[in-house]
Amino acid sequence: MATYAISDLHGRMDLFRQIKEFLQPEDVVYVLGDCGDRGPAGWELIKTVYEDPQFIYLMGNHEDMLVNAMYGDRQLCFYNGGKNTFRGWKYKDGGSMSWATKLSELPKEAIYTNAGGEKIILCHSGYTPHDGLFLTKNDYIWSRDHFLDDWDEDIENTYMIHGHTPIVYMDKYMYNRSTQLEPGAFWYCKDKNGIERKCNIDCGAVFLGFTVLLDLDTFDEHIFMAEDCFFADEIDN
């Protein structure tokens, strides 16, 4: 049995099907939100992930916006590429408000203890853990304020895995590079021993056509690419 994490598929059912084919029946995958919007199969992917017991679905900011749209506040959802996902819910599922309840009750965070006894914190947008930290919904699914934080030297044997911000943008923000140099996760925020404790797994799947499935026990990265992948000619899965 393996335990993985993935994030921000944004309607890329083609990538999801590759991942599903790769998995063994006993494997478990934490999905760190943003299954819908922008891509071609947003509503279909939301339903598929929610209903498949192999996947542990956490809330992302796009799920949050979709729930607000279901209750009538559509502006932010539509502005951020959610119109087709909303229409899928409204016309393919009859606009059942039971989905508003289901999505609003998605957990915002999960904690996994891996085979090495390390604590893995999983949420959509990420944060920098420290003693006495008070968190709001914004910290779990919206915030980008933590990227340049220092790791608390008192927090040991802990990792933060998140998505939310495509790595190409984070790369530019932190290192002034205009493109991601190679496909894969983005590790950063070193502790006092030089170990990178935070990891962004939002590969910008909807734009770049690839995603990473991160093994939470070994930290091995499994790359999945669509036909339109920016790196398709360079790396085999």
Does some domain include residue 232?
no
The CATH number of residue 201's host domain is: 3.60.21.10
Q: Look at the chain and report how many structural domains it folds into.
A: 1
Long-range contacts of 219-227 (CB under 8 A, 24+ apart): 221/184, 221/185, 222/4, 222/22, 223/183, 223/184, 224/15, 224/18, 224/19, 224/22, 225/15, 225/183, 226/12, 226/14, 226/15, 227/14
Could you read off the pLDDT tens digit of each residue along the chain, which spans 237 residues?
Answer: 999 999 999 999 999 999 999 999 999 999 999 999 998 899 999 999 999 999 999 999 999 999 999 999 999 999 999 999 999 999 988 899 999 999 999 999 999 999 999 999 999 999 999 877 889 999 999 999 899 899 999 999 999 999 999 988 876 666 665 555 578 999 999 999 999 999 999 999 998 899 999 999 999 999 999 887 766 554 443
List, for residues 110-145, the tens digit of each pLDDT value: 999 999 999 999 999 999 998 778 899 999 999 998
**Closest to 75 measured CA to CA, from 85, 63, 84, 83:** 83
Q: What is the pTM of this model?
A: 0.93
Residue 230 lies in a domain: no
Query: Is residue 23 domain-resident?
Result: yes
User: Residue 164: which domain range?
Assistant: 3-225
